[in-house]
Amino acid sequence: MQRSDINNQQDVRDLVDAFYRKVLKDDLIAHFFTTVVQLDWEKHLPRIYAFWNSLLLPDGVYKGNAMGIHFELNEKSPMKAEHFERWLKLWRETVNEMFKGTNAENAISKAEQIAGLMNFKMNKQNTGKHIS
C-alpha cells in the first residue's frame, strides 16, 4: 500500500527492507549479497538505513565510505552496467509501490545519481554503456 511520502526514519527502514527483499530474490544481483559477500544483515542494514536517512531526511547522519566498500566488492565480482540497471529498477519499483511525494522522488533521483556514478567509476574502461 502506497503511503504519502518518506517522512521519517521508519519510512526509510520500511523502504530499505522491502527493497532488499526484492534484491535477495533477484537472479541477476542477489549473488553480490549472498555469495560474493555473505553480509551480516544485522550490521549491514543499520548502515544502509543511516545512508538513506542522510540523503532524504534532515536529521540523517551517515559516516562511512560507501564507494570504497563497493570498490572492494567490484574486485571480487565485477559490477557491470546491467547490475546497476537492475538495482535501480528494483529501487524505483519499491519506492513507487510504497511512497508518493517529494522525498520519494528524491529517493529515486539520488539512486539514479549513485548508480550512474558507481557504474562510471567501476567500469571506466567499459564499452561506454550507460545506465538509464
Per-residue pLDDT of the chain (132 residues), as tens digits, is 667 999 999 999 999 999 999 999 999 999 888 887 777 888 889 989 999 999 999 876 766 666 666 666 667 767 788 998 999 999 999 999 999 999 999 999 999 998 888 888 787 634 444 455
Q: Kindly state the cell numbers that stand for 89.
A: 529498477
Domain 9-61+68-122 has CATH 1.10.490.10: yes
Tell me what pLDDT residue 63 has: 67
Q: What is the DSSP letter of 77?
A: S
Q: Kindly state the cell numbers that stand for 17.
A: 527492507
Contact between residue 33 and residue 23 where contact means Cβ atoms under 8 Å apart: yes
Torsion of CA 104, 31, 28, 5, to 10 degrees: -10
Containing 95, the helix (H) or strand (E) segment is helix 81-98
Q: How far is CA 87 from each of CA 22, 82, 119, rounded to the nearest angstrom? A: 10, 9, 11
Tell me what pLDDT residue 71 has: 65
Tell me what pLDDT residue 35 has: 83
Tell me what pLDDT residue 39 has: 74
Contact between residue 42 and residue 32 where contact means Cβ atoms under 8 Å apart: no
Tell me what pLDDT residue 65 has: 63
Tell me what pLDDT residue 121 has: 79
Record the pTM: 0.83
Q: How far is 82 from 86, CA to CA, in rounded Å? A: 6
- φ, ψ for residue 76 (rounded to 5)? -80, -40
